[in-house]
Amino acid sequence: VTVSVLYCCVGHKNRANMGIFSSKEKLHIITCGLDNGGKSTIINALKPTQLRNDNISATVGYTVEEFEKGKVSFTVFDMGGAKQFRQSWQGYYKNVQGVIFVIDSTDKLRLVLVREEIRMLIEHDDLRGVPILFFANKADLPGAKTPQELTDELGLSEMIVDRPYNIFASDARRGHGLEEGINWLTNRLVKS
């Protein structure tokens, strides 16, 4: 398995043409969500075991992770979720084929902000029709909202009408729910 982990300041168009994963289906995914939701932990858990990092810290700006999973090679843009970084997300939307949006299912106080970020994401022209995989992360913790509760409270069914989406409960630290979610997204994007 050939994997490159690239940090900051490298254009993904150039990497896509390098031929690193020539025999695999190539997918460009962006991972968004508020800070402290578990985005980097989820991406780390999706990577092959030998490539995982034991020390995950908050993403400053963004990182790019490249790895293979089955017959697919992923280039994943892990976007920092802190307020000062969220405005830069849209600069990475072009040529993205799928979105992973991570929600901290225990953070009830910021659901209004989550809804607003989702609204801005789905209204962006570069993401029209792009499938969205939601992870309701930290589902293992007390007080965590279920995927159905989040769907209802965020108004996802009313807000998202022009693309496929799904929401999966996840526990990024243990890997629960991640395979089901990434398989759903991959099945929407890969030609049979």
25: its two tokens: 């289906």
11: its two tokens: 């254009």
How many Å apart are CA 75 and CA 86, to the nearest integer? 20
36 is in an annotated binding site: yes
54 is in an annotated binding site: no
165: its two tokens: 């989406």
98 is in an annotated binding site: no
| Residue reference for tokens 């996840």 | 170
How many Å apart are CA 31 and CA 45, to the nearest integer? 14
34 is in an annotated binding site: yes
Using an 8 Å Cβ cutoff, are 131 and 189 in contact?
yes
In the sheet with 72-79, reading across from the earlier edge strand, the strands are 5-6, 62-69, 72-79, 25-32, 98-104, 132-137, 165-169
140 is in an annotated binding site: yes
How many Å apart are CA 67 and CA 51, to the nearest integer? 9
35 is in an annotated binding site: yes
71 is in an annotated binding site: no
Binding residue ranges for GTP: 33-40, 81, 137-140
Binding residue ranges for Mg(2+): 40, 59
Binding residue ranges: 33-40, 59, 81, 137-140
